[in-house]
Amino acid sequence: MSSRLKDVAARAGVSVRTVSNVVSGSAPVAPETRRRVQEVIDELGYRPNLAARSLRAGRTGIIGLAIPELHSPYFGELAGLLVDGAQRRSWTVVIDQTRGDADAERRLLVPGGGRMVDGLIISPWALDPAELAATEPAVPLVLLGERSPHGAADHVAVDNVAAADEATSHLIGLGHRRIAAIGLQPHLHNGTARLRAEGYRRALDRAGLPHEPAAQRSTAALHRADGARTMAELLDGPSAPDAVFAFSDELALGALHVAHQRGLRVPEDIAIVGFDDIEDGRYSHPALTTIAPDKQQIAERSLQCLADRVYSPGNTVPPQQLVVPHRLIRRGTT
């Protein structure tokens, strides 16, 4: 079926090692020999066995990407950038979906859950940061969207507190006073949502506005449906907000949908700011004001972290905390 170095060698009348040299170019081969071997390679359609190479080399050239879900636009876009960057480095990416499940995230970290990867980029959602920090990962790890001071992993994230502050302050600056926050995740050990809530409150504090518990809404997940449901609750509640800061663009788009259904004008009756800058937001009606993390940089720096750890045997670089820039993009919903 599939031919091996041995088959090529036999047919070309040379040793296995010589064929290997022709294929990988690791030692000089005489032009005439090279030609003859190459001919047989083409003839037999020889293809190196990557499993064997990986075993010998101790590296597979595969990195893992673990995200809550691929179908959410933010993670889809990020995954796309990561796959591209990996391709440029001749790596391959295997993807795992954790579905916001702590067990699924845990499984990827502990020994045995490994997937033949040289390194892992993981966006933890449900896992306790303390547990994360305590885990001795089987391979180099890059954590997205978290910032915990401990642990052996690199961290890549925007400054969530500052970004959320900026978004909220933007609404305050436009004259809004009853500003709701959508997307808290108190049921999960979720660092990202906690930091965004913190930034939201900080902005309120600075403006001397009160923290209304009823205006800080938890959601099961960060999907459009959650945003829609929560927006409906807010509008049906005793004091409807005049602005909403949603922790994700998906939440924001769900909220926007309900605002339209209720006949509210956006941004006149209610303003909305999202977070992520997904492509849908640029084409919604009106287009969505949002916080745009530099996804390209998130991808690139994550890969760079892995490159440093996987390829530097000394590996003396201490764990890094990389902060990626973000910016507020003002569009039609504010």
Residues near its own copies (CB under 8 A): 2, 45-52, 54-55, 60, 62, 69-73, 76-77, 79-81, 83-84, 87, 92-97, 111-112, 114-116, 136, 138, 223-224, 228, 253-254, 256-257, 260, 279-280, 282-285, 287
> Which of residues 45, 58, 149, 238 is near DNA by CB under 7 A?
58
Nearer to its own copies, 172 or 266 (CB): 266
246's tokens = 């949603």
Q: How many CB atoms lie within 10 A of CB 257?
A: 17
115's contact among its own copies, DNA, none, with CB below 5 to 8 A by partner kind, is its own copies
d(CA 315, CA 154): 13
Q: How many CB atoms lie within 10 A of CB 318?
A: 7
Nearer to its own copies, 116 or 152 (CB): 116
By CB under 7 A, which span of 14-22, 76-84, 111-119, 192-200 interacts with DNA? Answer: 14-22
4's contact among its own copies, DNA, none, with CB below 5 to 8 A by partner kind, is DNA
E strand intervals along the chain: 62-67, 92-97, 119-122, 141-144, 154-158, 179-184, 216-218, 243-246, 271-275, 289-293, 321-324, 326-329
Calculated CA dihedral for residues 248, 249, 250, 255, nearest 10 degrees: 100
24's contact among its own copies, DNA, none, with CB below 5 to 8 A by partner kind, is DNA
Residue 29: DSSP 8-state:
-
- The residue count of the chain comes to 334
By CB under 7 A, which span of 29-37, 134-142, 162-170, 300-308 interacts with DNA? Answer: 29-37
Residue 39 interacts with DNA (CB under 7 A)? no
Q: What is the largest CA-CA distance in the chain?
A: 87
Nearer to its own copies, 68 or 129 (CB): 68
Q: With H, G, I as helix, E, B as strand and everything else as coil, classify residue 168.
A: helix
Given the rule CB under 7 A, which residues bind DNA? 2, 4-6, 13-18, 20-21, 23-24, 26-30, 32-34, 46-49, 52-53, 55-58
